[in-house]
Amino acid sequence: MAHTGRTVGRLGEGDWDGKVSEIKKKIKSILPGRSCDLLQDTSHLPPEHSDVVIVGGGVLGLSVAYWLKKLESRRGAIRVLVVERDHTYSQASTGLSVGGICQQFSLPENIQLSLFSASFLRNVNEYLAVVDAPPLDLRFNPSGYLLLASEKDAAAMESDVKVQRQEGAKVSLMSPDQLRNKFPWINTEGVALASYGMEDEGWFDPWCLLQGLRRKVQSLGVLFCQGEVTRFVSSSQRMLTTDDKAVVLKRIHEVHVKMDRSLEYQPVECAIVINAAGAWSAQIAALAGIGEGPPGTLQGTKLPVEPRKRYVYVWHCPQGPGLETPLVADTSGAYFRREGLGSNYLGGRSPTEQEEPDPANLEVDHDFFQDKVWPHLALRVPAFETLKVQSAWAGYYDYNTFDQNGVVGPHPLVVNMYFATGFSGHGLQQAPGVGRAVAEMVLKGRFQTIDLSPFLFTRFYLGEKIQENNII
């Protein structure tokens, strides 16, 4: 009689022994004290412990990571984890910036930061070289910034240049006649004085710097994780101040990292948190309870940083003598890349400073250029009447609504959260110096090379604005 249905093969003696051995291994693997081969692969997760967790993997966050490893007491002494939610950096401020560097600030600290950055960029392979990797080419293009001042602002410009020279910056002052002789295509109407950067100003490739820093810190043992910080676990301690006022000090012990496109999260025990989340750093601060207290108190003082949107336009001017090559302008029209002309506006701020683009998304409003930027360009350089936009993109930057200067160093109440944010458009160019300053504060307890005490968080509570005349 014929049999129908499924045919079951026999196991040979050797096959059976192999199966039994495999089953025994799996049983052993789930016994207490054993690793379980049946569990999910966790290689994509962050470590369970890291001495320092840096929130934000842009140039500022990577610079902090670099200097922490560079200044550690011995190789491997500090475990550093960088958490970045956008591993493609498609919306990161770094990659979408124009990459300018300038020393023409009014605050000594800003000048010192940019001077150090210029040195860092010029000698980048002395800092960021990796064995068996090709050298970095930042394509640094030296081209001085030109700032123009009206009669009303001429004295302030002269004072600023005096400070810049005292700090070591090479800046010259020009009268309207000298300006016309050097740049005959500029309309000098209304210009009483101009300042021009003679050295260490220009632009570079920000994407190359980002990739170079990332490559270097990985070679130094820094860990990376793609995910989003969603929670901090903290302990609290109630203290009395010298005038018998009660304050609550917090210390973060654990960071929860939500994995990309997943409901899964990983807790990471840590000793230090660096808030380098750029335009979103206020959200990270709020997760730590910063700003939750009564208004007017230190506990109730928020981190005053918000996302702002900046357009970048690439354009050319077919009828401009010496201006035929492509140029780049930002939202304000205050910055365009061309030998001898870096900034184009009267006074210390752009003419469109009150007309910010909507930061809800990164779409480009082409009418904004036509209505808000182009008229100022054409007024100052008549040849720009014929300019044509070739392409444009938008990017976010971390705008400090309090005084447009950076926030650096520890929070006074959440004692192990440190800031590297709020630079309002000049964070990229100052990142090497800021990263070093934060690492010094973490490792040594004080700023050592450049004193950035004016940039501490406490100024927001005290209402002490630090006035920078030349936020570009």
pLDDT tens digit sequence for 351-403: 334 456 677 777 887 787 778 777 877 888 887 777 777 777 777 889 999 99
More reliable by pLDDT, 389 or 288: 288
Domain-terminating residue out of 365, 396, 427: 396
Residue 329's pLDDT band (cuts 50, 70, 90): low
Last residue of a domain, one of 370, 396, 422: 396
Tell which of 362, 396, 430 closes a domain.
396
Taking only the tens place, the pLDDT of each residue in 443-467 is: 999 999 999 999 999 999 999 999 9
How confident is the model at residue 97, as a pLDDT?
63
Flag whether 11 is in a domain. no
| pLDDT at 48 > cutoff 70 | yes
State the average pLDDT over residues 313-321: 62
Task: For residues 210-229, give the mean pLDDT.
Answer: 95
Rounded Cα–Cα distance for residues 221 and 352 (Å):
45
Tell me how crowded residue 178 is: count the other CB atoms within 10 A of its CB: 15
Lowest mean pLDDT among 54-68, 82-96, 304-318, 334-348: 334-348
227 domain residue, yes or no: yes
For residue 369, give the CATH number of its domain: 3.30.9.10
Q: What is the mean pLDDT of the chain?
A: 83
Question: pLDDT above 90 covers what percent of the chain?
Answer: 56
- SS3 of the chain: the string is CCCCCCCCCCCCHHHHHHHHHHHHHHHHHCCCCCCCCCCCCCCCCCCCEEEEEEECCCHHHHHHHHHHHHHCCCCCCCCEEEEECCCCCCCCCCCCCCCEECCCCCCHHHHHHHHHHHHHHHCHHHHHCCCCCCCCCCCCEECCCEEEECCCCHHHHHHHHHHHHHCCCCEEEECHHHHHHHCCCCCCCCCCEEEEECCCCEECCHHHHHHHHHHHHHHCCCEEEEEEEEEEEEEEEEEECCCCCEEEEEEEEEEEEEECCCCCEEEEEEEEEEECCHHHHHHHHHHCCCCCCCCCCCCCCCCCEEEEEEEEEEEECCCCCCCCCCEEEECCCCEEEECCEEECCECCCCCCCCCCCCCCCCCCCHHHHHHHHHHHHHHHCHHHHHCEEEEEEEEEEEEECCCCCCEEEECCCECCEEEEECCCCCHHHHHHHHHHHHHHHHHHCCCCCCCCHHHCCHHHHHCCCCCCCCCC
What CATH number does residue 53 fall under?
3.50.50.60
Residues 315 and 381 in one domain: yes
The alpha carbon dihedral of 207, 213, 214, 216 has a sign of positive
Chain segment 99-157, per-residue pLDDT in tens: 788 999 999 999 999 999 999 999 999 999 999 999 999 988 888 888 999 999 999 99
Residues 278 and 320 in one domain: no
User: In the chain, how many domains are there?
Assistant: 2
Instruction: Kindly state the tokens that stand for 453.
Output: 């005490």
User: Comparing 132-141, 168-177, 266-275, 318-327, which segment has the lowest mean pLDDT?
Assistant: 318-327
Highest mean pLDDT among 237-241, 343-347, 405-409: 405-409
Same domain, 266 and 318: no
pLDDT at 381: 82
Q: Identify whether residues 439 and 419 lie together within a single domain.
A: yes
Per the domain annotation, does 106 fall within a domain? Answer: yes
User: What pLDDT was estimated at residue 340?
Assistant: 36
Whether residue 376 sits in one domain with residue 464 = no
258 and 265 Cβ atoms separated by less than 8 Å:
yes
Range(s) of the domain holding residue 357: 309-396
Residue 38 lies in a domain: no
162 falls within a domain: no
The whole-number average pLDDT for the span 231-250 is: 88
**Band of the pLDDT at 34, cuts 50, 70, 90?**
very low
**Residues 277 and 299 both lie in one domain:** yes
pLDDT value at 41 more than 80: no
Kindly state whether residue 330 falls inside one of the protein's structural domains.
yes
Same domain, 384 and 247: no
pLDDT exceeding 70 applies to what percent of the chain? 79
Considering the domain architecture, whether residues 224 and 110 belong to the same structural domain is answered as yes
Same domain, 48 and 133: yes
More confident residue, 53 or 259: 53
277 with 316, same domain: the answer is no
pTM of the model: 0.84
54-64 pLDDT tens trace: 999 999 999 99
Is 287 among the domain residues? yes
What is the reported pLDDT for 454?
97
Letter string b/e over residues 115-131, b meaning 16 or more CB atoms within 10 A of that residue's CB: bbbbebbeebeebbeee
Q: Is residue 341 part of a domain?
A: yes
Mean pLDDT of the 327-337 span: 48
* 136 and 211 fall within a common domain: yes
Q: Are residues 118 and 221 in the same domain?
A: yes
